[in-house]
Amino acid sequence: MSPTRTKTSITGLLLPLLLLLLLLQLLAPLGEATASFLRVADDMDTTAAGARMSGLAVTDCGFKCFNAGPSQCRGFVWRPFVDSSFYDQYNSSRNSTPADDSAQSTFSPLVGSFSLGRCGLMKCVPPPSSLTPAPGSQIYLMSGTSAVAYGSIMVPPSYRMACTFAYRIYDKVQLSFEEAERQCLRDRARLIAIKTAEQQRIMTGQTSRSEAYWIGLDDRDSEGDFVMSDGTKPKYLNWDSGQPNNYIKDEKDQDCTMLYQGTWNDNQCDQMLRFICEIPFLEL
C-alpha cells in the first residue's frame, strides 16, 4: 500500500500498547477479573448502555459487568461525577483531609480508580453513530483471551454493525482469496473469522444462497491444518458434508474457504469470488 501504511502500522502498534499499559495500571487493584476489560474510547457516551447505575467506581462497574457474564455484558460505559459532590465523595472515600487545589487541578478520570461515576452495562457494542461526546465518559469492552486494544472504534461507513463486530459483504466485486484479503486490510479489517453459530446465522441471512463468498479460513501453510484470519484454530466448524475435500483441479488443490449456501467448502484460492470483511470488537 502507500507509504503512509508504514507510518500507520507503527502508530497502530504503539497506541494499543500504551493504552494497554495505561489500562493495566488503572485496573491493577481489580486483579485478574479486571484485566479482561479494554478501554476503547474516551469522551464518548452511548444511548445503547442498558442497565444504569450511579455512584460506582470504574473498577466496581467492571466487576458488575464481569459478574453479569458475557451474555449480559460485553462492555460498559463509565462517566465520572465531576461536580462538587464528587470531591466530597472522593475526600470521604480517601478518609483524608479535604483535597487542596492542586489535587483538584490534577484530577483526571484516567487516574481516578477511586472516583465515583455513572455506570452503564452494554450487551452489544454500540454503532459509532450512536456515540455522542460526553466529557470524561469511557467505554470498556470485555476482552477474550487474546487481548487486542483499540484506541477508538474505527469503522468505515460502508460497514454494518452486528453485536460484537462490523462487517461488509463485498458482492459487487469478485476477487481471488489473496486479493480479497488485501481489500479487507485496506478497510483495516480482515476476511471474516466466523467463530460462532450466531455469526454464521447473520452471514447466512445477509448473503445470497446462489453465490459463494470467501471467508477467513485457509490451510495454505499446512494441508488440512486450517487457521482463521486471526491466526487461531477454528473451534466452531460449519463444513458442508464431505468438505473440506481438497479437490484437485488443474493440478491445484483447495486451500481457501468459501461460504456457500450456508455452509463452508474449501476451494482453489485463485477462484474469483465475492467475500466478507470483518472488523471485530471482541475476540470471541
Nearer to Ca ion, 152 or 268 (CB): 268
In this structure, how many other beta carbons lie within 10 angstroms of the beta carbon of residue 171? 14
For residues 192 and 184, give the distance between their C-alpha atoms in angstroms, rounded to a whole number.
Answer: 9
Backbone angles phi and psi of 85, in degrees to 5 = -65, -30
In angstroms, what is the minimal distance from the CB of 30 to Ca ion? Answer: 44
The region of 41-49, 133-141, 172-180, 245-253 touching Ca ion under the rule CB under 5 A is: 245-253
The region of 12-20, 102-110, 192-200, 249-257 touching Ca ion under the rule CB under 5 A is: 249-257
**By rule CB under 5 A, what string of x and - marks binding of each residue 87-116 to Ca ion?**
------------------------------
Q: What is the DSSP string of the chain?
A: --THHHHHHHHHHHHHHHHHHHHHHHTGGGTTTGGGEEEEEEEEEETT--SEEEEEEHHHHHHHHHHH-TTT-SEEEEEE--SHHHHHHHHHHHTSSPP-HHHHHT--GGG-TT-EEEEEEESSPPPGGGEEEEEEEEEEEE--SS----SS----TT-EE-SSEEEEEEEEEEE-HHHHHHHHHHTT-EE----SHHHHHHHHHHS-TTSEEEEEEE-SSSTT--EETTSPPPSS--BPTT------BTTB---EEEEETTEEEEE-TTS-EEEEEEEESS--
The region of 15-23, 100-108, 151-159, 253-261 touching Ca ion under the rule CB under 5 A is: 253-261
In angstroms, what is the minimal distance from the CB of 193 to Ca ion? Answer: 18
- Using CB under 5 A as the binding rule, whether residue 219 contacts Ca ion is answered as yes
Nearer to Ca ion, 164 or 267 (CB): 267
- Using CB under 5 A as the binding rule, whether residue 245 contacts Ca ion is answered as yes
Residue 21 class from Cβ within 10 Å (0-12 exposed, 13-18 middle, 19+ buried)?
A: exposed
Nearer to Ca ion, 107 or 239 (CB): 239
Q: Using CB under 5 A, which of 112, 257, 265, 275 touches Ca ion?
A: 265
Nearer to Ca ion, 32 or 250 (CB): 250
- Using CB under 5 A as the binding rule, whether residue 261 contacts Ca ion is answered as no
Find residue 195's DSSP bridge partners.
none
Nearer to Ca ion, 52 or 249 (CB): 249
In angstroms, what is the minimal distance from the CB of 196 to Ca ion? Answer: 23
- Using CB under 5 A as the binding rule, whether residue 257 contacts Ca ion is answered as no
- Using CB under 5 A as the binding rule, whether residue 218 contacts Ca ion is answered as no
- Using CB under 5 A as the binding rule, whether residue 255 contacts Ca ion is answered as yes
In angstroms, what is the minimal distance from the CB of 246 to Ca ion? Answer: 4
In angstroms, what is the minimal distance from the CB of 256 to Ca ion? Answer: 8
Contact 206, 169 (CB under 8 A): yes
Nearer to Ca ion, 158 or 245 (CB): 245
- Using CB under 5 A as the binding rule, whether residue 45 contacts Ca ion is answered as no
The region of 23-31, 80-88, 194-202, 212-220 touching Ca ion under the rule CB under 5 A is: 212-220
Q: Which residues bind Ca ion (CB under 5 A)?
A: 219, 245-247, 254-255, 265-266
